[in-house]
Copies of this chain bind each other. A is one copy, B any other.
Amino acid sequence: MCESGGEARDEVQLTHQQLCLEEVSQAVTCPSCGAISIFIGTTRDSFEGKKVVQLEYEAYAPMAQSEIRKICKEIRTRWPTVRHICVYHRLGVVPVTEASVIIGISSPHRRDSLEAVQFCIDTLKASVPIWKKEVYQGDEPCWKENQECPWTGSRAAS
């Protein structure tokens, strides 16, 4: 947790470990903020009617981190009162119900962090090069580049 007067922080991490929600929340907690908005993306058990057993994520970490830092910068331009931003993305196997991404954003008033967290996950899905392998029950696994990136031509927001 920060002191009120300290620097605003962008904390970005790609890790093969399980993500810790409490850690993200602590990273953005600040005495000058009345609002923390959090988004958690989890592996769900189906995709277009097929039973999903697990997802597996791969990325060239320095590039993915740099893209996420660009999003943080853009958030600070659009919502100048945003205080701390924390984005954790898991790599490797992520079983059903576990988190692949947790985003936490704090701001003095709620509107800013609520809007910024939505922008952050939308933009991350659309622009950060992270590959996803979907492992189905009784079907071939399938590798996909970030499914909403414009160059992949695929659809459903998850």
Across-interface contacts of A39 in B (CB, < 8 A): 35-38, 110, 114
A50 on the B face (CB < 8 A): no
- Number of residues in A with C-beta < 8 Å to the partner? 36
Please give the count of copies of this chain that the complex contains: 2
Secondary structure type dominating chain A contacts: mixed
Identify A25's interface contact among B31, B33, B37, B40, CB under 8 A: B40
In the complex formed, the residue of B with least CB distance to A43 is B34
A22: shortest Cβ distance to chain B, in Å?
6
Question: What is A's interface to B at a CB cutoff of 8 Å?
Answer: 1, 4, 21-22, 25, 29-46, 96-97, 108-111, 114, 117-118, 121, 156-158
- In the complex the two chains form, what is the Cα distance from A4 to B45 in whole Å? 8
